[in-house]
Structure 1
């Protein structure tokens, strides 16, 4: 799940790449002492003592340099490719920071991660957190980010070229017959083969556990005794994993838009599908109160709005719309679905979605929905893609066994997914098939994270969050021995920095003074 606060708000990676729909639990790869073989088992802490083979990594010095954005410094940190065999080679991780501005006593480093998996933490730091977090937080902390292994500047996993990604994202994800099913499976296989061919070694070592262990290296290299951290969406899973592995080194952790690591992929995907339906119904209720709602007027029920949108998708399945795109792309059903889902992450995008749907349904102009889809996939105007979707699949397919192994399994599950979301269920069920063809076997299993002995951890859940359903935050807060649930009664994905004075002041007090809110506090 991906959280971002730049030109668009928070969102996950989805659709054909299926990635973010495989909301992950921790992988045990490279951390045998923490492995759990049965669902429901707990992630165990690593030994407190640093193994001698890792001492060179923990003792390294970073060489900081200016890196393009005024006020920010960058460096490269080495980590073992495989923590089980540290002598087997390195992976180089990009790190960035913005030093505390003062006044006030410096509180150490505050690591941030926007989620994904696959979101660039450095991009998030430079574009939002390092300039948009509350001034008093930036004054007391060095704001720090590391792009996880396989992501952005840290030896990125790349699967397909831009033109190939264009083809991939347009593939029909609601197959009507065996021929269309074969095309979809071929698309998944092509994507997976591309990843395996370009990063055969790295692909086995991009798990969440390994990324969490990299964060502990960074903590030590920065000279901090404890890790202070704000993670959003998938970043909550990464932060919780850190707490589970290193509870005695856990400082002030905020996990915003939380995931439940105890669930298998199929259950996670199904519950996320229901989350998107909840968000869409909220959008629908708002839409029919507006004068420009293209899916129904005042008095139209959310169910009818959904039926109208489904009918629109079915028309696109038969006849895509022109978009005026320089590459000749049309608005297909899959791209339109992605565009609608992209707008579910932030209620601030609802007007844009109404306008885009209006242009598509009334003027046969698909440009607006295509733009939403492109923003979701991080496709630039020249046809290039960030590695978000490649890294997303690489991490998710390593962290958990696949939700489905065959098309027949998807077909059997369709009734449950369509019940969870009449609008999105079919497409999201088929999108959950991606990891069935992954070239690397998963190394993780679903399990609980208790983090016994960790300092208080703030777990934030939004009641109508589309991508990380509210019940996941409740579940994670219950799992963590020191978890404290903070509820935001509202729409959109994640809560910190989204306009709630109650949420922001609660989190700021915790980060700055260590003030722990009462468990179950609610904000709006």
Structure 2
């Protein structure tokens, strides 16, 4: 999940079971997928209580199973954000789900408000000045303007995009595909969606994988600060524990503290797209936001010691450049209108009850920014039961990255206990946000879904504990004895 700035399925129709053969799927091409897929859409009421009212078109993609004798329970991927398009992610995640697609259809549904399903996108000018893109107040103003524009759309009732309503949409897709039971793979916010589907439709769930657990009661803006601080401290700890990093950055924590203390600071930076130098004032919030992005992936976070050292010397290009890595590419784009429709309805009302301590450096900036934007954002109704995770009747595999700044193991541990005896929580100590793509984790995902129920949780997961943390980045030409 991301603060303000922030994973497709069936068989060849001729071989499908009778119920699937009757579904209105048409051959289509999807960006990132090598082979032809099947596209479907479903008309849904914008407001469930008024089925005769405004309708929206829910879009989904089915990647048919390869085997002639496929299994009847497809795998549904629930994307993160909130605000990511599952269809846009299809090409990116297919390598992770390839073996599952041998005998099971893979289904990618664009949740309402995202992708092709009544999208709630906010226009983004990628050529805006660096000062504009790093200005939190200007960003909040753009979001308020976006809210006003979205509310004028035919599907612009922003109260109708809660996770509860969206999972009713998902079950409608299941029914249209004729599947009695489905398997769910949720990533980041998609884990919250999967838990809500499991709550509403427990009998329709065969297996659940939760990768980066974001429970419904976590209160995102508050946990952002706590968990980001913990992930940043891990970067410092890892550098201190590695002889070469410790030698090159002997005062990394002190350099970081001095960097923050010296802000705001007037700097000159080259725009990443135009290449033109720009003069701007770099604020504390901007630097914290720049640092938080690479924390999502240890391979990016490994560059932070050098980027902090450079910034301490007045060279901010590396730090600002790292901040844009996670947001690059269409698959990473969030429908920010949907993002705030979810968070403002489900998280903000519980902010005062949050017990997460604010991070020493990150403080309350995220919570304050969300509070200002959500102040006038229309809020959907969220049932009290939404926040209550109950024991699961289906096997659930929970995956957490030990270095995750958004959904670290503390959330997965708590949810696993509540889900009960049919849940198993695995922590990959050196992984960040998202575990399925790490080392042998994709094999564990396949074996969990493919196994008989009595064997589903009996996985030998020792391999994930052996995944190393990437060493600190060292610029080309600098030996271990070099100083920044």
TM over 0.5: yes
Q: Does 1:516 align with 2:456?
A: yes
| Residue 226 (structure 1) aligned with residue 178 (structure 2) | no
Is 2:172 the counterpart of 1:217? yes
3-state SS in 1 of match to 2:256: helix
Of the three residues 120, 126, 131, the one matched with 2:95 is 131
- Change in Cα spacing, 1:240 to 1:221, as seen in structure 2 (3 Å) is same
Q: What is the Cα deviation at residue 470 of structure 1?
A: 1.7
> C-alpha displacement at 1:172, in angstroms?
4.3
SS in structure 2 at match of 1:390:
helix
CA distance in 2 between counterparts of 1:290 and 1:199 reads 56
Q: Write the distance in 1 (CA, Å) between the matches of 2:102 and 2:126.
A: 44
CA distance in 1, matches of 2:428, 2:95: 26
**How far apart are the structure 1 equivalents of 2:244 and 2:335?**
34
SS at match of 1:253: strand
2:221 to 257, 269, 281: 269
Q: For residues 288 and 471 of structure 1, do their structure 2 counterparts lie closer, same or farther at Cα, with a shift above 3 Å needed? A: closer
Distance change >3 Å, CA 458–CA 87, structure 1 → 2: same
The root-mean-square deviation of aligned C-alpha atoms, in Å, is 3.7
Q: CA deviation at 1:85?
A: 1.5
Superposition deviation, residue 105 in structure 1: 4.0
Q: How does 1:381-460 map to 2 (within 5 A)?
A: 386-402=333-349, 420-444=358-382, 447-450=386-389, 454-460=393-399
| Cα distance, 1:321–1:510 mapped onto 2, change above 3 Å | same
Q: After TM superposition, give the deviation of residue 313 of structure 1 in Å.
A: 3.9
**Mapped contact 1:203–1:394 kept (Cα < 8 A):** yes
Three-state SS of the structure 2 residue aligned to 1:224 is coil
- The CA deviation string for residues 449-489 of structure 1, in whole angstroms up to 9 with x for no partner, is 44566322222233342101322112222333565132214
Residue 4 of structure 1 aligns with which residue?
none
CA contact (8 A) 1:93 1:153 kept: yes
Deviations 1:52-78 (A, max 9, x none): xxxxxx998323222244314233222
1:10-159 equivalences under 5 Å are 13-15=2-4, 61-68=23-30, 69-73=33-37, 74-102=39-67, 105-128=70-93, 130-133=94-97, 135-159=98-122
Higher relative contact order (CA 8 A, sep 6+): 1
Q: 1:128-207 counterparts in 2 under 5 A?
A: 128=93, 130-133=94-97, 135-162=98-125, 169-172=133-136, 189-198=144-153, 201-207=156-162
Q: Distance in 2 between matches of 1:436 and 1:119?
A: 20
Q: 1:113 and 1:472 mapped to 2: Cα distance? A: 18
Q: Distance in 1 between matches of 2:213 and 2:148?
A: 31
Distance 1:321 1:400 in 2: 38
Alpha-carbon distance, 1:157 to partner: 0.6
Secondary structure at the aligned position of 1:432 is classed as helix
Q: The residue matched to 1:319 in structure 2 has which SS?
A: strand
**1:323 counterpart (264, 270, 279):** 270
Give the corresponding residue for 1:474: 413
**Segment drifting more, 448-457 vs 333-342:** 448-457
1:314 shift after superposition = 4.7
Gaps of 5+ in 2: 7-19, 466-484
Counterpart in 1 of 2:15?
none
Partner-residue secondary structure (3-state), 1:421: coil
Task: Give deviations 1:223-267, integer Å, cap 9, x for gaps.
Answer: 21012111111111000100100011111111111122234x3xx
Return closer, same or farther for 1:469/1:200 CA change in 2, 3 Å cut-off: same
Identify the range of structure 1 (324-333 vs 231-240) with the bigger mean alpha-carbon deviation: 324-333
Work out the CA distance in 1 between the residues paired with 2:128 and 2:334: 11
Query: Does the 8 A contact of 2:183 with 2:207 survive in 1?
Result: yes
Equivalent residue number for residue 324 of structure 2: 374
Structure 2 CA distance for partners of 1:162 and 1:60, relative to 1, 3 Å: farther
CA distance, structure 1, for counterparts of residue 40 and residue 308 of structure 2: 44
> Post-superposition shift, 1:96?
1.4
Do the aligned partners of 1:259 and 1:476 also contact (CA within 8 Å) in 2?
no
Q: Alpha carbons of 1:422 and 1:114: their partners in 2 closer, same or farther (altered >3 Å)?
A: same
TM-score by length of 2: 0.78
| Offset, 1:343 | 1.0
TM-score, reference length from structure 1: 0.73
Cα displacement (A) at 1:86: 1.4
Describe the SS at the equivalent of 1:112. strand
Deviation at 1:379, TM superposition (A): 7.2
